[in-house]
């Protein structure tokens, strides 16, 4: 079994910062691309940022220059540093990863349960 568990969400004032973490655990052979998505109230889920196993990154235009995605391959973790937060960043943030399982060597896409980020004064 493979799990993604997020942490680090919460309530923050506009202009503030938060750091999200996501840990992949279970029968993992290799973690390939990892990313963060978000779903705001009444909106569709959207890609926020993604990172390959080699460290190449991709960001949504709305977060470029404010958010930074990083990963620790040894710990199977991905992070999202969010600075200069705006009310429109309010959403449930989901971790996502392509993971090859140990025994089957089959790669599947996995989602975390989500963590709420609220930006409000």
Question: Judging by DSSP bridges, how do beta strands 91-101 and 10-12 pair with one another?
Answer: unpaired
38 contacts 46 by C-beta, under 8 angstroms: yes
Q: Quick one: average pLDDT of 6-29?
A: 97
The tokens of 71 are what? 């990963």
Query: What's the pLDDT band for 111 if we cut at 50, 70, 90?
Result: very high
CA angle 19, 21, 45 (to 5 degrees): 90
Query: What's the pLDDT band for 36 if we cut at 50, 70, 90?
Result: very high
78 contacts 69 by C-beta, under 8 angstroms: yes
* Distance between CA atoms of residues 77 and 63, nearest Å: 21
Query: What's the pLDDT band for 88 if we cut at 50, 70, 90?
Result: very high
Q: Quick one: average pLDDT of 40-50?
A: 96
Q: Quick one: average pLDDT of 71-81?
A: 97
């Amino acid at each position: 079994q493979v799990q993604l568990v997020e942490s680090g969400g919460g309530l923050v004032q506009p202009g503030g910062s938060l750091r999200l973490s996501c840990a992949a655990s279970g029968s993992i052979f290799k973690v390939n691309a990892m990313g963060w998505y978000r779903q705001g109230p009444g909106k569709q889920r959207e890609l926020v940022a993604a990172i390959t196993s080699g460290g190449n990154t991709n960001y949504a235009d709305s977060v470029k220059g404010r958010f930074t995605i990083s990963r620790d391959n040894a710990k199977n973790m991905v992070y999202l540093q969010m600075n200069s937060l705006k009310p429109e960043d309010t959403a449930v943030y989901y971790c996502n990863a392509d993971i090859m399982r140990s025994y089957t060597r089959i790669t599947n896409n996995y989602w975390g349960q989500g963590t709420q980020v609220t930006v409000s004064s």
